[in-house]
Structure 1
Amino acid sequence: MSSLPNLEQKEKAIKTMTKEKRNFRQNLVAYAFISPWLFGFIAIIVGPMIYSLYLSFTSYDLLSAPRWIGFDNYIRMFTNDPRFWTTLKVTLIFVAIAVPLRLVFALAVAMLMNTGHRGSGFYSLIYYVPSIIGGSVAVAVIWRQIFGREGALNHVLSWFGVEGYNWFAHPDYALSVLILLIVWQFGSPMVIFLAGLKQIPQELYEAAAVDGSNKIQSFFNITLPMLTPVIFFNLIFAIINGFLTFTQAFLITAGGPIDRTLLYALYLYQNAFEYFRMGYASALAWVLLVIIGAFTAIIFLTSKKWVYYESEGGKS
Structure 2
Amino acid sequence: MTGLTDISTATNPGTHPSATASAQPLLDVRNLSLSFATARGALPITRNVNFSIAPGERVGLVGESGCGKTVTGLSLLRLLPPQSARIEGKIIFNGVDMSSLSPRKLRAIRGREIAMIFQEPMSALDPVFTVGDQIAEAYRIHFPVSRAEARERAIQALRDVGIPAPERRCDEYPHQLSGGMRQRVMIAMALICEPKLLIADEPTTALDVTVQAQITDLLRSLSERTGTALIFITHDLGVVAETCTRMITMYAGEVVEDAPVDDALMRPRHPYTSGLLRSLPSLSERRGVLASIPGRVPSPNAMPAGCRFRARCKHAAVGCEREQAMIETDTQRAARCWRAPELELPGAVN
TM-score band (shorter)? Answer: under 0.3
Instruction: Give the number of the structure whose residues are more often helix, by fraction.
Output: 1
TM value normalised by structure 2: 0.23
Largest Rg, 1 or 2: 1
TM value normalised by structure 1: 0.24
